[in-house]
A = this chain, B = another copy of it.
């Protein structure tokens, strides 16, 4: 049973349509005819992230500055999916660009929404195995990313101690570790 129904969009107006930031202000009608005015939505492209193991079973992490919270975070690689790109191809491309690694195996471990109360996108989660360095980093103009190789045991310890701060990435790590049977219910 599900008594909760979708809202109808009555009107929609973009307040920003910049390449880096698209947001709109909608007016909606709920199923009880109640009007919700306004409801703001930030439109973002679907993205990917990946928990990546090298052929030596080390985890490929990236250190990256996040301006909105003014912190340097230790994260897993990832990024936005290009137009018409398959999510699994996108994670392979992002891994190559951000770290220079290619992988023997790419396994989907789910998809997740960062904050579906305001953002409209999903992030596709991957486990990548057997990574080998085949190229140099190729970063976008505004990217500054340090690659960090970390033993799997140390990553598990940091995860236990809540030391990773990016929710999308933490979910990917848990899902990948369940898949690897490094974590069990």
Q: Is A151 an interface residue (CB 8 A)?
A: no
* Residues in B neighbouring A39, C-beta threshold 8 A: 20, 67
0/1 string, A123-159, CB within 8 A of B gives 1: 1010000000000000000101010000000001000
Please determine whether A113 and B166 come into contact, CB atoms closer than 8 angstroms.
yes
0/1 string, A20-42, CB within 8 A of B gives 1: 11010110101000101011111
Q: Is A66 an interface residue (CB 8 A)?
A: yes
* Residues in B neighbouring A174, C-beta threshold 8 A: 170-171, 174
Name which of A21, A28, A121 has the most chain B CB atoms within 10 A of its CB. Answer: A21
Please determine whether A6 and B183 come into contact, CB atoms closer than 8 angstroms.
no
0/1 string, A149-185, CB within 8 A of B gives 1: 0000000100010100111101100110110001111
Name which of A122, A166, A182 has the most chain B CB atoms within 10 A of its CB. Answer: A166
* Residues in B neighbouring A119, C-beta threshold 8 A: 68, 114-115, 118-119
Work out how many copies of this chain go into the complex: 2
Please determine whether B120 and A68 come into contact, CB atoms closer than 8 angstroms.
yes
The segment from A52-60, A69-77, A93-101 that touches chain B is: A69-77
* Residues in B neighbouring A123, C-beta threshold 8 A: 167
* Residues in B neighbouring A109, C-beta threshold 8 A: 162
Name the one of B120, B165, B171 contacting A116, with C-beta atoms under 8 angstroms. Answer: B165
Please determine whether A144 and B4 come into contact, CB atoms closer than 8 angstroms.
yes
* Residues in B neighbouring A67, C-beta threshold 8 A: 7, 26, 28, 36, 39, 41
Question: What are 22 A-B contacts defined by CB distance under 8 Å?
Answer: A4-B63, A6-B65, A6-B72, A15-B23, A18-B40, A20-B40, A23-B23, A30-B144, A34-B142, A39-B67, A42-B68, A42-B118, A66-B116, A73-B116, A111-B162, A112-B167, A160-B178, A160-B185, A167-B170, A171-B171, A174-B174, A177-B185
